[in-house]
Amino acid sequence: MKELKELTVGLAITGSFCTFDKIKKAAKELKEAGMEIQPIFSNQTAACDCRFGKAEEFVKEIEDIAGKKGIYSICEAEPIGPKGYLDVLVIAPCTGNTMAKLCNGITDSPVLMAAKAHLRNEKPLVISISTNDALGMNFKNLGQLMNMKNIYFVPFGQDNYEKKPASMIAHTELIIDTIQAALQGKQIQPVIQGYE
């Protein structure tokens, strides 16, 4: 198995804007561990300004951390398959919308095309969920993805069970541990971990 410093990791970011600070921290941890990072941005991530910040600033920060230009289109993401240059692909954060489409083979964004292209090579896809409906409309998709070959989850839990009882969010500080387990074909356990 490759050492962390030898890995090329795709970091595919979707539009759970409230977790972007955690994703920046996770990207720094990947880089500090010596990994080469290829950023991949969903259309919303690359374009939508929100109360959590401006898209352009967030994208620039991630690219600065990675030291590499991001992938912004389906056309740019497709070669991930035939070129096979990623050792692991991490979708962080992974929204409920992305989970639902992934389950149904829909590839209408750069992130989903990257996932499809990467899985063709039978290499690990790591999912770091952040969705308000993980225990609601997306519960069946969560279960389906957990049973798919080469898909692994960053441990997650209910982040606010009183106000958002169906919401679950990943413990992003465990992304590197999840990558290490996934490269050995193992799901890190326990996969469901609470928030205090």
Query: Is 53 inside a domain boundary?
Result: yes
pLDDT tens digits, one per residue of 97-115: 999 999 999 999 999 999 9
pLDDT of residue 49: 81
pLDDT of residue 127: 98
Query: Is 45 inside a domain boundary?
Result: yes
Determine which of 24-38, 42-56, 147-161 has the lowest per-residue pLDDT on average.
42-56
What is the distance between the alpha carbons of residues 155 and 169, in angstroms, rounded to a whole number? 9
User: How many domains in the chain?
Assistant: 1
Q: Is the pLDDT of residue 173 over 80?
A: yes
Quote the pTM value. 0.96
Q: Is the pLDDT of residue 159 over 90?
A: yes
Cα Rg for the chain, rounded, in angstroms?
15
pLDDT-based confidence at 2, cuts 50/70/90?
confident
Please say whether the beta carbons of 151 and 187 come within 8 A: no
pLDDT tens digits, one per residue of 53-98: 898 999 999 999 999 999 999 999 999 999 999 999 999 999 999 9
Please say whether the beta carbons of 166 and 133 come within 8 A: yes
Residue 116 C-beta-side C-alpha neighbours within 13 Å: 19
Across the chain, which distance is largest between two alpha carbons, in Å? Answer: 46
Q: What percent of the chain has pLDDT over 70?
A: 99
Beta bridge partners of 129: 94
Which structural domain, as residue segments, surrounds residue 65? 25-71
Buried b or exposed e, range 42-70, using 16+ CB within 10 angstroms = bbbbbeeeeeeeebeebbebbbebbeeeb
pLDDT of residue 99: 97
Query: Is 176 inside a domain boundary?
Result: no
pLDDT tens digits, one per residue of 37-59: 999 999 999 888 888 789 899 99
pLDDT tens digits, one per residue of 118-144: 999 999 999 999 999 999 999 999 999
Residue 3 in tokens: 């050492």
Query: Is 89 inside a domain boundary?
Result: no
